[in-house]
Each structure stands twice: as C-alpha cells, then as structure tokens.
C-alpha cells in the first residue's frame, strides 16, 4: 500500500508538471536580445538567500541586462533579505508587494515589455497556485518565461518522503534545477563582497576573542529552541572557548538581553579564570550585510532554522542548526553545514497546529549541540 501511494504521488506530480508545460506554448522562444529581465521570487530571509546563487548566475549570464526582482515577504511586518541582491549589484531594481496584493502591479509590469522572466516557484507551492500564476503572468506582455513547476503534493506527504531515492533536494539545488542553470563550483556559489562595517561595529569586532555567533530567532514559535538551551551553550563556550555574539531582530534582542543577564549572574558565582570572555548583543543593530560580516568573524555559529542560519552560507563559518520538524529533512539545511543540522527524532515531519504543538524541537538537548560545537575554535 505504501509503494502504491508513492507511485500515485509520483504520477500526479508528473501529470501536473506536464500541464504546466503550457508555458512552452504561451512562450515559444527567447527573443534575440535580452535587455530587460524580471525575476519572481517570494519569501523571507531564508527563501531569498537560498535563491541568491541562482539569481547571481542569471546576472552573470546576462551581465548587461537590467534585472528587476518582484518579491513579497508575505505580510508587511515580515522581513525580506532581497536588499542583499541590490547591495551586491545582482539586481538593479526591487518591487515589493504584500499580503498577496499583486494585481495592482499588472499594468506597471506590462508597460515594461520584459524580454525574459524567471519564475522561481516556492518549495511548498501547489499545482493550482502555479496554474493561477501562469495565467496571470501570461497577461503581463513578457516575451519569454520559464520556471513553473511543482515538487510536492498535499497528499501522503510523509509516505512520499520515504521514496527511494529521497525525493527532496536542498533548496539551493532545487532553484538551480528548476531554472535549468548549472551549479557553479563550490567556492563561487555564494560569492559575496563584504561591505564596510559601521565604525561602532568595526571597533567592537577588534575586541573579539574566538567568538561564537548565536541567533535565537525564528518566525514560528514551534521553531524556537528553548532560551535555556542557548544559555547553557553560551556558558560552555565562555568557559571553554571565548566570547559570545548575538545577532537577530528586535524580538531577538530581548532574548539576548535575558541570556546576558543570566550569564552575568552566573559569572558572579563562578571562578575568575574566564571573566575576560565577553558577550555582545548586535540584535536590531547590525544590518543584514553587517550580520554576514559578524558571522564571518565567528569561530562557529548556532541558530534556529531561520534566516541567520542561511546567512552563514556567505562565510567560512560553520553553523549548527537546531531544526524543528516543520518540514522534511535536507530542504532547508544551510548549504555548507548540512552535516551540522540537529532534528528531533519524534517525527519525520510535524503537522501539529499552533494550539496542539508539543514543541518537539526541545527534544534536542544543549549537550547534543555542544558535541557539534566543541570541535570548533
């Protein structure tokens, strides 16, 4: 029965993707000259960062074209990392929209007469959403488009994940494959030009002593490792290794301040041999570019499954990721630290509601993470 269900999903996905080949009928051939490109990619920090390598290759393939990124983080209160693409001169312009309100942009996009569009479909997209988007984009006066696809189904998800070979890819690789772009060499895939730090942050980094970067934030509460686990990790690093550096947003700053208070109280009760090790809170202070530079300063990093964990892909710093069972394994692993991801064993993928979630992420204990971290620094 299990194999029958796996076969059913495999056939269903194949049928759906064959229907989406309607794009090849609407957009038959590329124009002889590509001067204006639009890239459609929605998502928050992690979504954009994992799309960064593929978008960068588009820029390298069309160095003289003007590239516009059309994107939405979702609601207005959510963050996007699309500005990194602008700061790295990968895209020339970014248009944001929020809460799914894209229709008002239709005429504005039509007037641009784009030569080429790259559709970077979301990992969790559905067939009907892709079909809707295909029909909408067919009205935008774009000369050629590619990229519509689905890779998952809402039916028998857990069973399909047992398919051999495993059916899901890391998000970085999926973006390359969907656009039929060759993956570059490892050293080039996340190439990034470091920007100058503010004087305040630059002066502080000169004081760092073998720092561990900690990012406690996550979009969903069920993806947040217990604060006490980060506190225990911070204690072990300060006792055995060096300094602690916190990065994140405004909400993360409050958590970092709470951990720092506990660290101060702990240090007052302990011996003086590691009193020289310090802690720094850059949450809601450092920009995304500066956060990448701070991560580069770290001997190692530990983070929840969140945007900062993916920022580590721009650096040589390895990141231990505490990953809840909100999605299947491998998909959202930081690209260069896949062997350092910790997941709870309770579920292959958790489908708890917000009310019923048992926060199985806390099945992962701080000593599990320390076994990974203690080899760094």
Which among 263, 261, 346, 349 has a CA at the least distance from the CA of 305? 349
Note the pLDDT of residue 108.
Answer: 95
> Going by DSSP bridges, is the β-strand pair 36-40/116-119 parallel, antiparallel, or unpaired?
parallel
Which among 9, 11, 81 has a CA at the least distance from the CA of 42? 81
pTM value? Answer: 0.93
pLDDT at residue 348 is higher than 90 = no
Helix axes 2-19, 127-137, angle to 10 degrees: 0
Mean pLDDT for the stretch of residues 223-249: 95
C-alpha–C-alpha distance, residues 346 and 76, integer Å: 34
Q: In what order do the strands lie in the sheet with 66-71?
A: 93-96, 66-71, 36-40, 116-119, 145-146
Note the pLDDT of residue 194.
Answer: 79
Q: What is the average pLDDT score of the chain?
A: 92
Share of the chain above pLDDT 70, in %: 97
Mean pLDDT for the stretch of residues 21-32: 93
pLDDT at residue 349 is higher than 60 = yes
Note the pLDDT of residue 353.
Answer: 63
Share of the chain above pLDDT 90, in %: 78
What's the pLDDT band for 69 if we cut at 50, 70, 90?
very high
Q: Enumerate domains of the chain plus CATH numbers.
A: 2-178 (3.40.50), 201-373 (3.40.50.2000)
More confident residue, 55 or 196: 55
Note the pLDDT of residue 275.
Answer: 66
pLDDT digits (tens, 9 = 90+) for 281-317: 999 999 999 999 999 999 999 999 999 999 999 999 9
Strand locations in the chain (E): 36-40, 66-71, 93-96, 116-119, 145-146, 212-215, 244-246, 279-281, 300-304, 319-322, 341-342
Residues belonging to the chain: 377
Mean pLDDT for the stretch of residues 368-374: 96
DSSP secondary-structure letter at 184?
-
pLDDT at residue 359 is higher than 80 = no
pLDDT at residue 363 is higher than 60 = yes
């Amino acid at each position: 029965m299990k194999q029958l269900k796996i076969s059913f999903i495999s056939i269903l996905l194949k049928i759906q993707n064959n229907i989406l080949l309607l794009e090849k009928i609407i957009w038959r051939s590329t124009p002889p000259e590509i001067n204006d490109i639009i890239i459609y990619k929605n998502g928050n920090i992690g979504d954009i960062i994992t799309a960064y390598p593929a978008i960068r290759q588009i820029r390298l393939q069309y160095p003289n074209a003007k590239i516009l990124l059309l994107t939405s983080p979702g609601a207005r209160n959510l963050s996007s990392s699309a500005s990194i693409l602008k700061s790295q001169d990968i895209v020339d312009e970014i248009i944001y929209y929020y809460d799914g309100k894209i229709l008002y942009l239709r005429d504005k996009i039509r007037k641009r007469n784009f030569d080429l569009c790259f559709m970077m479909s979301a990992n969790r997209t559905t067939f009907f959403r892709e079909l809707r988007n295909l029909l909408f984009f067919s009205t935008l006066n774009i000369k050629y488009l590619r990229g519509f696809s689905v890779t998952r189904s809402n039916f028998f998800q857990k069973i399909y994940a047992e398919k051999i070979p495993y059916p899901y890819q890391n998000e970085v690789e999926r973006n390359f494959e969907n656009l039929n772009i060759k993956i570059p060499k490892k050293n080039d895939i996340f190439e990034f030009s470091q920007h100058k730090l503010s004087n305040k942050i630059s002066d502080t980094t000169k004081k760092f002593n073998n720092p561990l970067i900690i990012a406690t934030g996550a979009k969903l509460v069920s993806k947040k490792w217990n604060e006490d686990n980060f506190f225990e990790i911070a204690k072990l690093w300060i006792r055995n290794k060096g300094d602690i550096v916190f990065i994140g947003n405004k909400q993360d700053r409050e958590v970092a301040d709470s951990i720092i208070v506990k660290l101060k109280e702990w240090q007052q009760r302990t011996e003086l041999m590691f009193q020289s090790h310090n802690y720094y809170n850059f949450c809601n202070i450092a920009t995304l570019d500066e956060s990448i530079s701070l991560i580069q300063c770290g001997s190692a990093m530990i983070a929840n499954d969140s945007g900062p964990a993916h920022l580590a892909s721009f650096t040589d710093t390895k990141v231990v990721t505490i990953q809840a069972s909100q999605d299947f394994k491998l998909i959202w692993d930081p690209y260069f630290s896949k062997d350092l991801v910790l997941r709870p064993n309770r579920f292959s993928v958790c489908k708890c509601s917000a009310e019923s979630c048992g926060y199985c992420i806390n099945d992962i204990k701080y000593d599990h993470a320390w076994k990974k971290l203690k080899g760094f620094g």
